[in-house]
Structure 1
Amino acid sequence: MRDELRCPACGARKILHAPKVLDADADGRSELAIAKPSVWSSRRVGKLEAYICAGCMLVEWHVKELEGLDEHVDVSVLDGEAPRQGPYR
């Protein structure tokens, strides 16, 4: 939806953009994100934005930037380009 401004589910062209998605926490409201670098820091990494289809309400989430995310702790890398190993040789 973000790039083509078209819903992949219903084809609608009216797309709503939420540049900040807020989350309730102990300090009030802050931006929803994938991770916090430490329990002592209020900084969040992998902040999210959302694109919403006005027709069918489908939501696409996007991370604004990947900087600061730890691939071994915060996220898992699924490599679709890697050759698959089948049961046969």
Structure 2
Amino acid sequence: MHTYRADIGAANDNKSKRKWRWFWGVLFILILIGGIGYYQGKKYLLDGLPQLPDKRAMWDLNLQPNMTLLDKNGIVIGHRGP
């Protein structure tokens, strides 16, 4: 015959709460690391790109957006646009 213990439910409840705290804590840390990684990656990869000209100025000059890709010696690798 099993004995009744009043503290068994409380002990199991604490384990459940502890699991949920771990879950939310790990999720928060992963989201935080992902956000910092995204910000730093974006800053690192897009830092050296030149600014695009204003669309209104291009419209006034009747220019369409285009881009020329050059290597480190100035030789054209590719061209995009008209």
TM-score of the superposed pair, with normalisation by structure 1:
0.21
| Higher RCO, Cα 8 Å, sep 6+ | 1
> More helix per residue: 1 or 2?
2
TM-score of the superposed pair, with normalisation by structure 2:
0.22
